[in-house]
Amino acid sequence: MESSFRGESMNILLHGCNGRMGQVLTRLIPEEDDMNIAAGVDSDVNKFKNSYPVYNSLKQVKEKFDLLIDFSNHTAIENILNFGLSKKVPLVICTTGFTDEEKNKMLEASKQIPIFNSSNMSLGVNLLISLSKQAAQVLGSDYDIEIIEKHHNQKLDSPSGTALMIADAINKTLGNNSNYVYGRHSKTSKRDKNEIGIHSVRGGGVVGEHEVLFLGSGDVIEIKHSAISRDVFGYGAIKAARFIIDKNPKLYSMDDLI
């Protein structure tokens, strides 16, 4: 059912509730005084025993809710957008790996409902991006720029959406003149001054680590963020929910929240 939010406790529909981040939010949201989970949606309905009803399709949801939080897969975005538009509820999209076509669909839907989307829900990562932009402004083309991201061995997309987010922010700062190079396997030419190297590491249970290197002829500047718990992304999603619940239709990001 569509949103009934009037300033009282916020009812959340959690899409992807039985995934890694879905279970983090299942634990964190009940600790908040002003929100609760009304229902969840997941393709694996019986994976966990949750305190709220879980469905395998958005169409099956009967409970009243004020906002949808998504931590699932980018391929579900069209169904989520159509559902959000039909119910006229805000969406907090925390999934990564979107294609350009999917991003455009999100932008189009945001003309009718408020949508919050970020490739990384950590405030710390977004501070890293801000510092990287400042470093790029100061160091300019005198330094080579490389980005290294590390994640657990179950992560599907590579490079991470956050690594691309960092690269895009730096590239924009430098006038959008940079070319992205993903690893250097079989590359036999010298490094171009306009390159931004992006490298992915997958292994173990690494929650998420991003490092930006500015490499000069006489020194190296390193800006790094390491997530030691997935809770940091859950708290970011909760902040985004509070932020967007009463906003006008638009596509919002961490820049707006900060």
Task: Say how far apart CA 60 and CA 99 lie, in whole Å.
Answer: 27
Residue 210 φ then ψ, to 5°: -130, 130
151 in active site: yes
Q: From the candidates 155, 199, 210, 225, give the one annotated as an active-site residue.
A: 155
* Paired tokens of 165: 């987010």
> Active-site residue among 15, 150, 151, 225?
151
- Contact criterion met (CB below 8 Å) for 165 and 119: yes
* Cβ atoms 145, 212 nearer than 8 A: yes
Active site residue 155: yes
Q: What DSSP assignment string belongs to the chain?
A: -----SSSSEEEEEETTTSHHHHHHHHHGGGSTTEEEEEEE-SSTTSS--SS-EESSGGG--S--SEEEE-S-GGGHHHHHHHHHHHT--EEE------HHHHHHHHHHTTTSEEEE-S---HHHHHHHHHHHHHHHHHGGGSEEEEEEEE-TT--SSS-HHHHHHHHHHHHHTTS--EEEE--TT--SPPPTTEEEEEEEE-TT--EEEEEEEE-SS-EEEEEEEES-THHHHHHHHHHHHHHTTPPSEEE-HHHH-
Residues taking part in catalysis: 151, 155
